Amino acid sequence: LNGVAWQRNEHGNMFVTTDGHRLTALDNGLGSDGDPISVIIPKGAVAWLVAHSKTNTDVVIRGMEASFVCGSTVLTAKLIDSTYPDWRRILPSFEGDPFLAVTVKRERLMEAVVRVCIDNEYMAVKLHGIDGQLWVERKSAKAKAFADWPTNGADKHPGFNATYLRSTLIGNGPMRIVQ
């Protein structure tokens, strides 16, 4: 899967990508102006956009082509002619909604992951709520990540590969974990 799926419908814009091990889904929170869209933007075009779009980017979809206008520069890319896998089916649902959102201080979660994986970074870790707080746990260790955990999410226990989770945590500012 070498691209980013862009799906726009009456609920908004969703961007989804995966490398076969990790899946990232982003709802940009903007409205859904225009017709519904379901396209796959190639990886090369996405890399170019990340490197060159410092401001708003206008997007024009015509058939199997997308044009991205960044200031005075225009990139036209051929869209991937395929259907993106139904990624929502692999996510567990929570009361009919596949997302359970928890806002976490990145550095606190990173500290907790490092603490439980101090002797082996390739371990699987489990996140779960205890008394309204987020805990990171593996079979032989447990650490608190100092985050509020919704009490209605107490039965959710997402598991992660610790290496992938740590690579996601590299960066600045708060993060939002969405299961």
Q: Is 149 exposed, middle or buried (0-12, 13-18, 19+ CB in 10 A)?
A: buried
Give me the pLDDT at residue 79, please: 94
Where are the strands (E) in 55-172, listed by range?
58-62, 65-70, 73-78, 101-104, 124-130, 133-138, 141-148, 159-161
Give me the pLDDT at residue 77, please: 93
Q: Are strands 37-42 and 3-9 parallel, antiparallel or unpaired?
A: antiparallel
Give me the pLDDT at residue 171, please: 56
- Look at residue 43 and give its three-state secondary structure: helix
Q: Is 143 exposed, middle or buried (0-12, 13-18, 19+ CB in 10 A)?
A: buried
- Residues of the chain where predicted confidence (pLDDT) is lower than 50: 154, 172-175, 178-179
Give me the pLDDT at residue 173, please: 45
Give me the pLDDT at residue 148, please: 60
pTM above 0.75, yes or no: no
Q: What is the pLDDT of the chain when averaged over all its residues? A: 75
